[in-house]
Amino acid sequence: MAAKNQQTQKPNKRKQFSSTKTDKDGSKSKKPKLLSSTPSSANPSNKLLKKPFNSSKPKREHPTHSKFKKSESGNDNKELTKRERRIQAKELAEARKKKRKPHYTLEQELASLWEKMRRRNIAKEDRSKLITEALQKMKGKIPEIAGSHVSSRVLQTCVKYCSQIERDAVFSELQPHLLTLSCNAYAVHLVKKMFDAASKKQLAGVISSLRGHVASLLRHMVGSVVIEHAYQLGNATQKQELLMELYSTELHLFKDLASIKESRLIDIISKLDLQKSSVLRHMSSVIQPILEKGILDHSMIHRVLIEYLDIADKSSAADIIQQLSGPLLVRMIHTREGSKIGMLCVKHGSAKERKKIIKGMKGHISKIAHDQCGCMVLVSIFSMVDDTKLITKIIIRQLQTTLKELALDKSARRLLLQLLHPNYSRYLNTDGLASLNLTVPSLSSKNESEIKSKKLSRDEESSKEAAKSDIPEENLDEESTKEVATTDSDMEATESGKSDTPEENLNSAEGGKKDPSLRRRELLVNSGLAENLIDVCIENAEELLTSNFGKEVIFEVAKGGSDGILHPTLDEKLNNLHEAIAELAAKPKSDESEEEHVLENFHSSRTIRKLILDCPAFASTLWKKSLEGKCQLWAQGHSSKVVSAFLESSDSEVRKVAKEELQPLVDDGTLKIPETKQLANEN
């Protein structure tokens, strides 16, 4: 009970504490006065009073507040205007910059001169005077101010337009500080400009001064740009000098060893008798930081990676390919060595790594296709990757939107031609075919040791069979040497990428398990690419026929592709294309027209001639719609090659259709046909 009474009494105490209080005069006030301006010691209850919850301290006025400022006239009470406060703030900022930058005043003077000297409409004499004045102001201070974003621009303009004597003076002042300036984000542009303007002697001195710092600069985001620029400007010997430091510790320490003439790393190792394991360790220590930082845009790094993959063991090579497979590869394939690395990653990468490579190209397909080196990586993907659905979704869908541009472009047309006629030496040059057949020795399934073991096993089997049979030993030696010579020639052709056959390359690219013809059909026909390509050829037939590069695409499409891959699925569309070309050829010949007729144009006349020889269906359509009864008109000039093709065709039906009208032209000498062709057709 007592506890309950205590509990019930607690609220009453609170009410009493918060109840209204009486003043000294006994009157009751509605609100308690919790704050007093002057606390009195006489009233002890003031010590118990607390500040309310929402009370806040009075704001301190900042010394820069307008009421603390004095006006220029010295009147304390008068406030500054908005314009005066802005001017005062600007003066304070200028004062701070002068304290922080020792050459601030000089930079301001140079900036005003730069605004005048960089104008396009300024006279050469006036510009040279301004440049001389600017260089006089900077003399002795160039290394200090070259890192400024203002002064570096002034110096670049001065170096571009100044005289050779002034340029040499700037170069001599900057040369001792090149390594420091090479790592500065603003000074690096000045250094590159100095390299471009340097003489052969100065450039050689700069490249030799970089010795010992190549690896460290390549790991630097800014410094790597300087090394790459020097590498591009240098000759073969200077390039080799820069590369040697990255190969081995011995080549880094001893300059005499670096003067070796061999360019391939594997040849250098064999000639200098270097330890391969030591070279691999040194190169790994150089390459790994570069890969981790993603500094992969430079051709020098691509060359080092190619040399590393050439000598690396299986695990090291696989690790490098795994690291490169992805979006990083897109930044490499714009160079010759970089595209080779891309093709090696496609060839030796797993299905997962290939998927990463293709997905990393998303959004960049058009740019890669038009690049001279990058397009070969897409060609290798078409030739090796089995996941045709992924290729269709990411690559082909984007290519379908710009088929006309692809067909007319020198590099991009290779993608279409690779699907229409794979590995044809006319469309892919020797270097391109060799790149498709490149392999990493440690990851390749056809190593030289395996080939040698196959030779030995073949020799043993042939000797056993000879022992059983009655073949003489002399004949056995001749047969075995023929087999060995054949195997050696095959191996050399695989390594060099060259083949004895001028038309086709015998060594097809490896890397996929799917049948190449099935993969090709899925990418070209099933994806809808071929149908869209035929429509583009029909709409732009004249432009493609008269183009130096587009003529090859329209020829392969009109022919139906290699092995007739477009037949019979797209026969109706192909007939429409044949009719479109025939309509162009049926246009009347006019001397007044500025546009050249397709039968008289150099490119189109030869393309139509090839179609007559290789595609009988097109030949019959062209004859009926365009040439029948008009051969006398077209029997001279470039068009005569088109007319004579009907008699040179290997198809008897094509010759039979045109012989009645063309034979009189041949007899009277108007139309000339090579005797070898005529004899071959008669036989």
**pLDDT tens for each residue of 563-602:** 999 999 999 999 999 999 999 999 988 777 678 899 999 9
Measured CA to CA, the distance from residue 513 to residue 385 in angstroms comes to 9
User: Encoding tokens for residue 241?
Assistant: 């000098």
User: Encoding tokens for residue 324?
Assistant: 């490169």
| 216 neighbors 183 (Cβ within 8 angstroms) | no
pLDDT digits (tens, 9 = 90+) for 597-645: 999 999 999 999 999 999 999 999 999 999 988 888 898 888 999 999 9
pLDDT value for 470: 44
pLDDT value for 680: 57
Higher pLDDT pick, 50 / 443? 443
pLDDT value for 166: 93
Reply yes or no on whether the pLDDT at 342 is more than 90. yes
| 274 neighbors 311 (Cβ within 8 angstroms) | no
The residues near 256 (Cβ < 8 Å, ≥ 6 apart) are: none
Q: pLDDT-derived band of residue 84, with 50, 70 and 90 as boundaries?
A: confident
Measured CA to CA, the distance from residue 194 to residue 160 in angstroms comes to 9
Measured CA to CA, the distance from residue 434 to residue 344 in angstroms comes to 12
pLDDT value for 101: 75
Measured CA to CA, the distance from residue 182 to residue 191 in angstroms comes to 7
Residue 188: φ, ψ to 5°:
-60, -35
Q: Which one-letter DSSP state was computed for residue 600?
A: T
Least confident of 38-47, 197-206, 293-302, 428-437: 38-47
> How far out from the chain centre does Cα 206 lie?
28
Reply yes or no on whether the pLDDT at 30 is more than 50. no
Q: What is the dihedral of CA 664, 669, 675, 678, to 10 degrees?
A: -10
| 375 neighbors 412 (Cβ within 8 angstroms) | yes
Closest CA to 303 of 332, 282, 323: 332
Reply yes or no on whether the pLDDT at 507 is more than 60. no
Q: How many CA atoms lie within 13 A of 401 on its CB side?
A: 10
Provide the whole-model pTM: 0.76
pLDDT value for 161: 92
pLDDT value for 157: 92
Q: What is the dihedral of CA 497, 502, 507, 509, to 10 degrees?
A: 80
Reply yes or no on whether the pLDDT at 478 is more than 60. no
* Mean per-residue pLDDT, 545-561: 96
Q: pLDDT-derived band of residue 79, with 50, 70 and 90 as boundaries?
A: confident
* Mean per-residue pLDDT, 247-275: 80
- The 3 state secondary structure assigned to 344-409 is HHHHHCCHHHHHHHHHHCCCCHHHHHCCCCHHHHHHHHHHHCCCHHHHHHHHHHHHHHHHHHHHHC
pLDDT value for 682: 59
pLDDT digits (tens, 9 = 90+) for 175-221: 999 999 999 999 999 999 999 999 999 999 998 889 889 999 999 99
Higher pLDDT pick, 73 / 329? 329
Q: What is the dihedral of CA 638, 644, 650, 651, to 10 degrees?
A: 110
Reply yes or no on whether the pLDDT at 77 is more than 90. no
Least confident of 165-174, 433-442, 485-494: 485-494
Least confident of 60-64, 152-156, 255-259, 361-365: 60-64
Q: pLDDT-derived band of residue 461, with 50, 70 and 90 as boundaries?
A: low
Higher pLDDT pick, 52 / 573? 573
pLDDT value for 103: 78
pLDDT value for 671: 84
Q: Which one-letter DSSP state was computed for residue 49?
A: -
* Mean per-residue pLDDT, 4-22: 44
Measured CA to CA, the distance from residue 49 to residue 66 in angstroms comes to 37
pLDDT value for 92: 83
Percent of the chain whose pLDDT exceeds 90: 55
pLDDT value for 496: 38
pLDDT value for 677: 61
Residue with tokens 């051969």: 631
Percent of the chain whose pLDDT exceeds 70: 76
- Three-state DSSP class for residue 3: helix
Residue 44: φ, ψ to 5°:
-70, -15
Reply yes or no on whether the pLDDT at 505 is more than 70. no
Helix axes 299-311 and 314-324, enclosed angle (nearest 10): 150
The residues near 127 (Cβ < 8 Å, ≥ 6 apart) are: 117, 161
Reply yes or no on whether the pLDDT at 68 is more than 60. no
- Indicate the average pLDDT of the chain: 81
pLDDT value for 99: 73
Residue 247: φ, ψ to 5°:
-85, -45
Measured CA to CA, the distance from residue 611 to residue 544 in angstroms comes to 14
pLDDT digits (tens, 9 = 90+) for 638-676: 899 999 999 899 899 999 988 889 888 888 888 887 765
pLDDT value for 100: 72
Reply yes or no on whether the pLDDT at 493 is more than 60. no
Which of 47-51, 54-58, 443-447 is predicted most confidently? 443-447
Q: pLDDT-derived band of residue 39, with 50, 70 and 90 as boundaries?
A: very low
User: Encoding tokens for residue 480?
Assistant: 């075995």
